Structure 1
Amino acid sequence: MFKDHANIINAISTAGEISGRKKLQKIVYIAKKLSFPFHEKFQFHFYGPYSEELTLRIEELCEMGYLNEVREKKAGYYQYCYSITDAGQDFLSIQEVEMPALEACLLDMNERNARFLELVSTVLYFDTLEKEEVTEKIFTLKSKQKYTPEEIDEAYEYIEQLKTKAKPN
């Protein structure tokens, strides 16, 4: 049980700070699809893959004092920023979390915006389909996002870059 909590704390610690609940969901989902040991179950939701389990774990970790959740007002909405606390660092120091290749992937993903990560995670969610079918699904399910064919190509290229980074040396 605590292993899954430690993996999430480690991810946030590695990233330094993650701004946005949606972004956090997408980062963990993408990392899971890259074969990092995240075990939360995801379903397709309004903004792509979403895990109720992950949401509950984050809430638990905040309540236990291992993560900071800061609510910031942005142009008419609130965004939540997550970072590790000293207690979280202490907890992490007694856990064995071995994911050395995760750092490069996480730092890269954390520099991307949530909209792009939503596209990448959606592509990965439908990774058993042909690219043309995935593109069709994106245009249908994500029509409000107005993704372009070029952005979809960029998402596929980005996934390949992440796969290369995720491979252990």
Structure 2
Amino acid sequence: MKENKDLILWYLIKEFTKHCSRTGNKVGKKFLQKVVYLLQRKGLNLNYNFSIHYYGPYSSQLEYDIHRLEMNRLVRIDPKDGYTHEIIPEEVSDDEKYLSHHDIEMIDSKEIKDLIKNLSSFNASELELIATVDYVINQLKIRGTDELNKKEIIEKVKRLKGNKYTEKKIEEAIKFLEENGFVKIEG
């Protein structure tokens, strides 16, 4: 899969762009960082390592790969207002055939397709919160916290994000993660 990593990333950008065109959201760098993080959490392993960043989980290797896609003319990065960028997939029909059957099967599984559709309904800021909440929960698990509770998760997210998100928004992010099989939270 490593040799097809660029094509898989291009294909994912293409899929998200298709779904986002229906929701009015744009595929930008922040958006892509969060959705790739969440897709990896559901088993689509592209071998990116994520650490916590100001805007939530972030992978410098993914950032590099996005720019490599641009250099190879697989995507165009369109600066919108100096603050945000839109990543637009170029039509490269010849390259699509180089995706292996296994890669396409993995990306086109019902679970991944449904998740792509669901995630496309969120904007980059909402995805930042969802991915950050998931990251916090996983860090708690890694540190040996067996029983997770919403109050502790909310406190830790608020510590990271300050007043950027309300408690209600954090609870909605937890609910999304639970409903989509990312986590199971007690009380």
Q: Which structure 2 residue ranges, 5 or more long, are not aligned?
A: 19-25, 141-147, 183-187
Q: Which structure 1 residue ranges, 5 or more long, are not aligned?
A: 165-169
Correspondence for 2:83 among 58, 78, 87: 78
| Residue 107 of structure 1 pairs with residue 112 of structure 2 | no
Matching residue of 2:42 = 34
Correspondence for 2:51 among 43, 46, 57: 43
- Separation in 2, partners of 1:90, 1:67: 15
Q: Percent identity?
A: 26
Q: Which amino acid aligns with 1:80?
A: H
The answer to whether the 8 Å contact 1:22/1:114 transfers is yes
Q: CA deviation at 1:120?
A: 0.7
TM-score when normalising by structure 1: 0.84
Matching residue of 1:167 = none
Cα RMSD for the two superposed structures: 1.9
Q: Which has the larger radius of gyration?
A: 2
- Separation in 1, partners of 2:126, 2:17: 20
Q: CA deviation at 1:160?
A: 2.9
The answer to whether the 8 Å contact 1:5/1:61 transfers is yes
TM-score when normalising by structure 2: 0.77
Correspondence for 1:127 among 115, 137, 161: 137
Q: CA deviation at 1:42?
A: 0.6
- Separation in 2, partners of 1:125, 1:33: 10
Higher strand share: 1
C-alpha distance after superposition, 1:66-86 (max 9, x if no partner): 11211112xxx4321112212
The answer to whether the 8 Å contact 1:15/1:103 transfers is no
Matching residue of 1:2 = 3
- Separation in 2, partners of 1:38, 1:134: 27
| Residue 162 of structure 1 pairs with residue 180 of structure 2 | yes
Q: Which amino acid aligns with 1:84?
A: P
Q: CA deviation at 1:45?
A: 0.8
- Separation in 2, partners of 1:45, 1:78: 17
Q: CA deviation at 1:61?
A: 0.7
Per the alignment, do residues 19 and 13 of structure 1 end up closer, same or farther by CA in structure 2, a change over 3 Å counting? Answer: closer
The answer to whether the 8 Å contact 1:4/1:39 transfers is no
Matching residue of 1:140 = 159
Moved over 6 A (4+): none
